[in-house]
Amino acid sequence: MQPTCAPHLGETKLLVSGHTFFATPELTLRLTALAPPPEPEPEPEPEPEEPAPTGEEEAAAAEEDAPAAEEEGAPAAEAGEEEAAAAEADAEGDAAGLGKLQPPVEPMEEGHELEVVGKFEPESGGVLVTLPPLGGAGRMAVAVALNGVDFVDVPGELVVYGRVGVREVTPALGSRSGGTSLELRGPGLRATPELSVAFFKGATKLSVAGEYDAAARCVRCTAPAWPEEGDDGDVIVEVALNGQQLTQSCVHFLYQVGVRVGVRVRVGVRARVRVRVWVRVRVRVRVRVRVRVRVRVSSRACTSSTRTPR
């Protein structure tokens, strides 16, 4: 049976799986309200062991017990009143957080029955029904009949819940690349197999699985990457206990560019190094010189006489 829980307002699509179902005009689902589970009894606290008193100590203790009991009674009564007032304040705060959209829901009466016409689904081989308003919060047993008369019990129970809402998301912003760990708090949140968290704006909707932390009383999830780069990144976050019907709290979460959540550590090392470099260069140069010399010589003519002997 999926899902295992549903809001009391109805409109949940409930699928009952089986091996021998087939389409018939009389295919019927019957839901019967069960008795609320008994509240667990508080465990008795162990009493500390004390040494056995002597005769004189017993007499003195008897005289002191009477006024002490009267003095201890008043603080105990005051503590009980304070706890009741705190619980009342929490309930009022939860109701104020949800506004008039979801008024308080009364528990359904034991034995209350509903019969819903089912539809055979060939793909899964199961019976699919759309639940009507269930008349309150509580637990319901589910049975199915192919002929509308011979009902067979379905394993498990359907948990019907009342008011659910989201009051805050922590942190309120994260990176567009996703990966931010979120905590969602609000009235009615609890652990369910189909628990999911939806991020949406306009026609864009992204859903991720959620996990309920009972100690911290919150739903934990990891924000997905937001694909729309052109918008302002202001999205709405809601929770669905059954994976179908979302809360209507309109709590905002802001996607931003370059937001990093965590601790960044920078470690730097600075070193000074002195380096000496010797360079030996051997150069061979070939020089060709061409010299042109121009000489101008000036000479004078000389005359001489020669005599011929006779």
pLDDT in tens, 19-74: 888 889 999 999 999 988 665 555 566 666 666 556 566 556 556 655 544 444 54
- pLDDT score, position 38: 65
Per-residue three-class SS string for the chain: CECCEEECCCCCEEEECCCCCCCCCCCEEEEEECCCCCCCCCCCCCCCCCCCCCHHHHHHHHHHHHHHHHHHHHHHHHHHHHHHHHHHHHHHHHHHHHCCCCCCCCECCCCCEEEEECEEECCCCEEEEECCCCCCEEEEEEEEECCCCCCEEEEEEEEEECCCCCCEEECCEEECCCCCEEEEECCCCCCCCCCEEEEEECCEEEEEECEEECCCCEEEEECCCCCCCCCCCEEEEEEECCCCCCCCCCEEEEEECCCCCCCCCCCCCCCCCCCCCCCCCCCCCCCCCCCCCCCCCCCCCCCCCCCCCC
Q: Give domain status of residue 247, yes or no.
A: yes
We report the CATH number of the domain holding residue 113 as 2.60.40.10
- pLDDT score, position 187: 93
Q: Give domain status of residue 25, yes or no.
A: yes
- In a shared domain, residues 154 and 186: no
CA–CA separation, 166 vs 248, rounded Å?
Answer: 8
Domain containing 124 equals 5-36+107-161
CA distances (Å), 308 to each of 205, 305, in order?
A: 145, 10
Q: Give domain status of residue 237, yes or no.
A: yes
- In a shared domain, residues 10 and 115: yes
Per-residue pLDDT tens for 207-227? 999 999 999 999 999 999 998
- In a shared domain, residues 32 and 174: no
Q: Give domain status of residue 94, yes or no.
A: no
Q: Give domain status of residue 291, yes or no.
A: no
Q: Give domain status of residue 52, yes or no.
A: no
Per-residue pLDDT tens for 260-304? 544 454 555 565 656 565 556 565 656 576 767 676 655 454 444
Among 256, 275, 303, the domain boundary falls at: 256
- The token duo for 31 is 């839901």
Task: Please tell me whether the overall predicted TM-score, pTM, comes out greater than 0.85 for this model.
Answer: no
Q: Give domain status of residue 13, yes or no.
A: yes
- The token duo for 98 is 């949800």
- In a shared domain, residues 32 and 114: yes
Q: In percent, how much of the chain has pLDDT > 90? A: 51
- pLDDT score, position 310: 45
